[in-house]
Structures are given as C-alpha cells and as structure tokens.
Structure 1
Amino acid sequence: MTDYDVLRVFCGPDGGYGNELGVVRDGSLLPGRDDRQALAGKLGFSETVFVDDPERGVIDIYTPTLRLPFAGHPCVGTAWLLDVPELVTPAGVVGARQDGEFSWIEARAQWAPPRTLRQYPSAAEVDALDVPPPGEWVYAWAWEDEAAGRIRARAFPGRGDGIDEDEATGAAALLLTDRLGRALNITQGRGSQILTAPQPHGWTEIGGRVRLER
C-alpha cells in the first residue's frame, strides 16, 4: 500500500470534526491517472491529493470517482502540510498562508465545480434535511445570524460514490461567498468551521483549522 497522510480540514474551535483528506506526499509512486484514481476510490476519502512537487506545491486531486482541477479542503489541508506559499493546481496557482491556528488559501470562484446553492429559511430546516438521492451536487444553507455573516450549511455531493454528505467543502463555500459578496463564518456538517473573505480582483480567501490524524 502506498504511504499517505490523513488530515482533518476545517476543524471546529475545539479541534474536532473537519473533513478527512488523504495526501500522498510522493506522487511519483503512482504517476498514472488510472492508478491514482484507483487508490482514491480504495481509500474512500471525499478527496485524495497526490503531491507531484512538494517544493513548488504541485498537486493532483481526486474524488473516489473523478479527477478535480481544484477543490477547497484539499488545498487548505495540503498547503498546511507542505507549508508552502502557493499550490499549483490544473485550475491555476492557489495562494497560501498560515495565520495562527488557521490555514488560508486564495482562489477564484470560477475554478470551483458547479454546485446547486440552495437556501433554506432557517438553520433548523438545514439540520433536518435527509440525504437526497444521487443527482445534483447540493449545498444547503441558511443564515444563523445574517448581520454577523454566520451560516449553517450541509453538503450533499449526489455522486453515488459512497460519500453521501461532505463534512466540510471549501469549493462550495467559495461559490457562496462569491454570490453573497461578503465574509462568512460557516458551520457545516456536524460541527466543522469554514471562514471566507472576498479579496480584490475576483479572489476569495478560504480558511480553517487543520489537524494531522496520522
């Protein structure tokens, strides 16, 4: 079995929750896309990252069933793990920085895969949602405190690959921030925390806590 690290990305204030991420630090061990896809499917994380150049931050991202040009929680987690100022993804160069307990990346909304952003009247209604059948990728959200920018969200990939609900999804938070045009403090899943902040010239920062599981 290829060696890999397991991180939890977008942890809550107490260090709990967060979305698991697999990172293969030596991508040269599996250079082929088919082999990478097979390992990502076997590991079963919502995303697995293969690092092709740790010094330059060149990475390759896979879900259990497909390759992604960009994804939020893999970039936040891998930037923290490699401690680099940027990551090079197929979508573009992602800026990265560390600020105390938070790892931040800077990306563009057009890099994110399509998502259905579905607003609900209350956080309680989001909490009560059942997992929808496979189909569209749904980011369900509601204001907890609109004045403070606090949001309750849940994410349903709808891919039919065994990931019924994503605990924390940076790309969807990026799209929502771009739509609303303001900084957000998102509680997603069981208790993960995602922070976002619009930046000049169409960029958005996404930040969260990262923990090394093993």
Structure 2
Amino acid sequence: MEEKEIEKAKLHTSKEWTQKKFGENLFTLMRAKGITQKELAKAVGVTAATLSSYKNGTKSPTLPVAAAIAKELGVSLDWLCGINTESELKTENANYSDVIQLLVNLNNSVDTIIDSVAVYDGAYSIDTPCIRFNNLVLDHFLVEWKDVKNLLDKGTIGKNIYDPWVAQQLKDYNCPMNEIPEKLTTVLPTEDESDNEEVPF
C-alpha cells in the first residue's frame, strides 16, 4: 500500500472513531442531564433528526454546531469529541438550577428518600433536610422538594403535576450561585442580615 493511501486510511479511521465517540458522549451526557433530543436540537439550531444522526455516530456536526452542543451541555469540545476523557462541567458560572437538575437526575436514577430532622440550635427548632448544603438557597429548595416529592411518593399527586413543578423550580432557581433567586428575596436574608440573624431553615 502506498504511503498516501496509508495516511488516507488513518484519517478515515480517525474520523469514524471521533464520530462514534462524539455520539457516545453526546448520548451519555444527554441522559445524565435529563435533556431530550428535541430540547437540545432546538437549543443548538438543528433538527431532531440531525441530532439523532450525531448521537448514533452516523454524521459529524460542523464545528460551530459541535461547539454549541458542548456549551449547552456544559462540557469542553475536547471531552465531547473524546480527546480529553475528563469531563469539564462548568462550575465557575454554575446556577442553582444546575445543581437542582443534578439532584433530580440522581433521584430519577436511584430511588431517593429526602427526609428531615428537627435540630434545636438554642433559638429555633429547625426542620433540617438530611441532605445538607452549606447554602441557604439549596437547603430551602430541598425542604420544598421534600414536601412535593412526598406527595408524589404517596400517590397524592402524579408525574403530571410533579414534572411541571420541577421544570418551574429550574426556571425559578436559574441564577448564579452568588445571588439569591428572585422568588426567595423576601424569604432569605441578604449577606449583611445573615451575619446578624439566625434563619430557621
């Protein structure tokens, strides 16, 4: 085999491998983030059928589309293409909704029980969730989620009510983690107030 043919064969194999790896990583990430093909396709400006061909490894996206997919899913293009095997989920600009989505995805994968315990801190008896963050906003969400999830688990409400509630929370909590979501501005103290007050949750 001539040298040009060998180089051509290597390039072809590499392209096939990258296409396949891109598809596998895309499928894994969409599943982990709980995003549908239709939602992602709309967000990056392609059809659902085109996105499906990327996911199945039968077609490669253009560089701008691949970059848009990586940005939308919060990973580097290197990771999505299989060049870098370590996921680089965005953390510096993470929103509360990103963390909430991870919790909801975890609950969808593993049957999760969200409970709370009463803790007396000397001034208040606090109903504290068992999953605890050093963050009042996330703790507030956990208390709300526990109540709604308990209704779902008992059969009082169905997924037709629970799923839209989760979707609304993702919208309500979609702000940087160094800010307080608008829906909680009257509930949670500002940084100055939190230095002087103890908050009962």
Question: For this structure pair, what is the TM-score category when the shorter chain's length is used for normalisation?
Answer: under 0.3
Could you say which structure has the larger radius of gyration? 2
Structure (1 or 2) with the greater helix fraction? 2
Structure (1 or 2) with the greater strand fraction? 1
TM-score, normalising length: structure 1 = 0.26
